[in-house]
Amino acid sequence: MDEQTRIEIEAAAFRTLRHHLMETRTDVQNIDLMNLAGFCRNCLARWYQEAANERGIAMSKEEARELYYGMPYDDWKAQTQTEADEAKKAAFEVAFRENVGPKDA
């Protein structure tokens, strides 16, 4: 497989993952994704931002989230996310630290 075809297939797979998380499974909470898989929708938006920045494209965290979510993050969060219980929040602190880094990172 040539490089361009590989890139196009990877991009298509990313679009399918995004659609699945944003349209098909909005019931799955970000905190549950992070606690179980070590990443969530916000991580995908951050990876998008980092890839843009690496290519010299200035993009803030908020801009990346709006591109990923298709709307301001706070709007999406209000529409789809529910308050997590204390056990999930505690598990998130561990998952975030292990997979992303210190909270201020």
List, for residues 41-93, the tens digit of each pLDDT value. 999 999 999 999 999 999 999 999 999 999 999 999 999 999 999 999 999 99
pLDDT bin (cut points 50, 70, 90) of residue 105 is very low
Asked if the model's pLDDT at residue 102 lies above 80, the reply is: no
Alpha-carbon distance 18 to 102, whole Å? 26
For residue 35, CA distances in Å to 1, 12, 97 come to 35, 26, 11
Q: What is the set of domains in the chain, with CATH numbers?
A: 29-99 (1.10.3340.10)
